A = this chain, B = another copy of it.
């Protein structure tokens, strides 16, 4: 079976699955589960297009990882095939521990179990299932791997996670202020003493990236109506007795996500 599938993606055009192991991880119920978790929770109440899922975001971030690895290799730094696979698997699974509305619920109902911790637990479980083939991915994810830049591509000030969610969230909300030059930023990536750095001529793209990120917080992530809906959600979950008083459509909407 050919596992190097091509997936249509409105944001980047096409995403090619780079390793057989990535395909196998995608098939696993842990990952398929992300099909039912919206990246932006209740934001579609304000921006009706914002229905994209963590499933799609994880694929997008992995796609950017492939591009980044190509760029860094082309500048003379060694990344072995095994390291590339590990980095791709690690970014693919970076959000696997998310539950619906986790950003809203983590600070209220579900205390003490951040989704990052859940992700690590689930990665270990997957590592058992896949007979240790995820060990290097876990090391990279936990920053226990010597080539620090691999971890920084997954989690840092300028990681592939952030690049994808900014691109994807601005694309699906239609808030064009959040669009960034992800391809230029990636072309400017470099490695110095095993740390991820940016070529000097990429400085304007980085500034734009930072401004775009801030604008997305103002216009989308911290939108007053979205925050109010999340607050209503928390109250509803805390106090089932008020469920009957809650707007019926809202409840149905919530239920549709939890099931």
Contacts and interface: CB of A to CB of B under 8 A. Distances in A.
Given A204-B219, A207-B215, A215-B207, A249 B9 contact: no
What secondary structure prevails in chain A residues at the interface with B?
Answer: helix
A257 B7 CA distance: 23
Contact of A177 (B6, B205, B257): B205
Interface in A11-69: 11, 13-14, 16, 29, 32-33, 35-36, 44, 47-49, 51-53, 55-56, 59
Contacts of A33: 249
| Cβ-closest 7 pairs across A and B | A8-B174, A10-B174, A51-B51, A255-B259, A48-B56, A10-B49, A32-B249
A10 B257 CA distance: 23
A14 to B, nearest CB: 6
B175 A8 contact: yes
Interface string A162-205: 00000000011111110101011001000000000000000011
Contact of A208 (B6, B215, B253): B215
A252 B36 CA distance: 9
Interface of A: 6-11, 13-14, 16, 29, 32-33, 35-36, 44, 47-49, 51-53, 55-56, 59, 171-177, 179, 181, 183-184, 187, 204-205, 207-208, 211-212, 215, 218-219, 248-249, 252-253, 255-257, 259
A36 B51 CA distance: 11
Number of copies: 4
A12 to B, nearest CB: 8
Given A9-B174, A257-B256, A204 B181 contact: no
B259 A252 contact: yes
A175 B179 CA distance: 13
A29 B7 CA distance: 36
